[in-house]
A and B are shown apart, each in its own frame.
Chain A
Amino acid sequence: MKANCWYGAGDVRVEQVPDPTILNRRDAILKVTSTAICGSDLHLYNGLMPTMKAGDILGHEFMGEVVEVGSEVTNLRVGDRVVTAFPIACGRCLPCRQELFSLCENSNPNAWMAEKLLGHSPSGIFGYSHMLGGFAGGQAEYARVPFADVGTIKIPSDIPDEQVLFLSDIFPTGYMAAENCQIQSGDTIAVWGCGPVGQFAIRSAFLLGAERVIAIDRFPDRLQMARDGGADTMNYEEEEVYDRLMEMTGGRGPDACIDAVGMEAHGPGVLAAYDRMKQAVMLESDRPYALRQAIMSCKNGGTVSIIGVYSGFIDKFPIGSIMNRSLTIKTGQAHVQRYMAPLLERIQRGEIDPSVIITHRMRLHEAPQAFAKFNRKEDHCMKIVLTP
Chain B
Amino acid sequence: MERQDAGGTTTLEHPTASDDRTGSAINSKPGFRSRSPQRDHSDDASHERLAQTLGWFSIGLGMAELFAPRTVARLAGLPHDHRWLLGASGLREITMGLGILSERRPAGWMWSRVGGDALDLALLATALSSAQGNRKRTAAAMLAVAGIAAVDCFASRHLSRMVGWTSDDGAVLIKKTIMIDSSPEALYLFWRDFQNLSRFTEHVESVTIYDRHHSHWTVKGPAGYRVEWNAEITDDEPNRKIAWRTTSQADIHHTGSVEFTPSPGGRGTLVRVVMEYNVPAGVLGASIAKLFGSEPGQQVQSDLRRLKQIIEVGEVLKSDGSLHGKGILQQRPAQPAGSHT
Contacts and interface: CB of A to CB of B under 8 A. Distances in A.
Interface of A: 3, 5, 17-21, 23-26, 51, 53-57, 72, 90, 92-94, 105-107, 109-113, 124, 127, 130, 133-137, 144, 146-147
Given A106-B313, A110-B326, A135-B320, 11 more contacts: A18-B339, A51-B331, A56-B333, A90-B312, A92-B313, A94-B179, A94-B267, A106-B309, A110-B322, A112-B298, A144-B336
Interface in B295-341: 298, 301-302, 305, 308-309, 312-322, 326, 328, 331-339
B108 interface: no
A24 B318 contact: yes
Given A18-B335, A56-B335, A94-B267, A105 B308 contact: yes
Contacts of B322: 109-110, 130, 133-134
A135 B319 contact: yes
B293 interface: yes
30 contacts: A3-B335, A17-B338, A18-B335, A18-B339, A19-B338, A20-B320, A24-B315, A51-B331, A53-B332, A55-B334, A56-B321, A56-B334, A90-B312, A90-B317, A93-B313, A94-B181, A106-B309, A106-B317, A107-B317, A109-B316, A109-B317, A109-B322, A110-B326, A110-B331, A111-B302, A113-B293, A133-B319, A136-B320, A136-B334, A147-B317
B79 to A, nearest CB: 37
Secondary structure call for the A interface? loop
B269 to A, nearest CB: 12
A127 B334 CA distance: 7
B116 to A, nearest CB: 24
A136 B335 contact: yes
Contacts of A133: 319, 321-322
A134 B320 contact: yes
B268 interface: yes
B315 to A, nearest CB: 6
A27 to B, nearest CB: 9
B320 A112 contact: no
A56 B293 CA distance: 20
B37 to A, nearest CB: 32
A127 B321 CA distance: 10
A20 B321 contact: no
A5 B336 CA distance: 12
A57 B334 contact: yes
Interface centre among B302, B305, B320 (most CB of A within 10 A): B320
A267 B193 CA distance: 61
Max count, chain A CB within 10 A of own CB: residue among B268, B319, B320 = B319
Contact of A72 (B309, B314, B332): B314
